[in-house]
């Protein structure tokens, strides 16, 4: 089955394809001829995912899904949250975002945080919402070379390693996006 995934992020596409499995052909935005940035102006992760999925569906008419993910830090009142990708700047600047997070967390004892993914599927004209959450903590410094975004700063519960220190398979087994995508895959396989 062909599904359009509302991303051009190669890391994200690879992560999701590993979880969804070979029975689904994931197609990126670029492969559908969509090269413009899709606005993410909504106040919640769920609303952003829904807006992106509707945009893709209206442009392609194909079954599709979109996600939005946020890092929610307890000591920062849930920041960066829905603005995670644009925390430090209006662009997607991972390095600036990580620096700002470390700066705001300096001296903070409560390091608790969670990654949360909202994923919306539009299939045969119907909309479905799936969510994945993983609790953990913000590290005091970057650890690891893998992953992307805030991965070097986030250690999931029960782990000493950051997401960036894990293999893709290890991360997918416990990550927020992996959990949301597994719910999507279970739904699709029914």
Catalytic residues: 68
**Residue in 116, 84, 113 with CA at minimum distance from that of residue 100:** 84
- The SS3 of residue 118 is strand
Task: Give the C-alpha separation, 128 to 18, whole Å.
Answer: 21
Q: Is the peptide bond before 149 cis (omega within 30 degrees of 0)?
A: no
Task: Give the C-alpha separation, 154 to 166, whole Å.
Answer: 11
Task: Give the C-alpha separation, 131 to 177, whole Å.
Answer: 8
Task: Give the C-alpha separation, 79 to 81, whole Å.
Answer: 5
């Amino acid at each position: 089955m062909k599904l359009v995934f509302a991303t051009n992020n190669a890391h994200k596409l690879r992560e999701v394809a590993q979880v969804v499995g070979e029975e689904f052909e994931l197609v990126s935005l670029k492969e559908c001829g969509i090269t413009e940035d899709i606005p993410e102006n909504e106040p919640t992760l769920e609303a952003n995912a829904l807006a992106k999925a509707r945009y893709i569906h209206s442009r392609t008419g194909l079954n599709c899904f979109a996600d939005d993910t946020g890092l929610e830090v307890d000591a920062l009142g849930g920041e960066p949250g829905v603005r995670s990708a644009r925390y430090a700047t209006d662009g997607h600047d991972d390095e600036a975002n990580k620096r700002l997070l470390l700066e705001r967390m300096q001296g903070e004892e409560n390091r608790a945080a969670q990654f949360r993914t909202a994923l919306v599927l539009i299939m045969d004209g119907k909309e479905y919402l799936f969510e994945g959450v993983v609790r953990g903590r913000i590290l005091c410094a970057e650890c690891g070379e893998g992953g992307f975004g805030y991965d070097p700063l986030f250690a999931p519960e029960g782990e000493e390693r950051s997401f960036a220190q894990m293999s893709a398979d290890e991360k997918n087994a416990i990550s927020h996006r992996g959990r949301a995508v597994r719910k999507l895959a279970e739904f699709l396989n029914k």
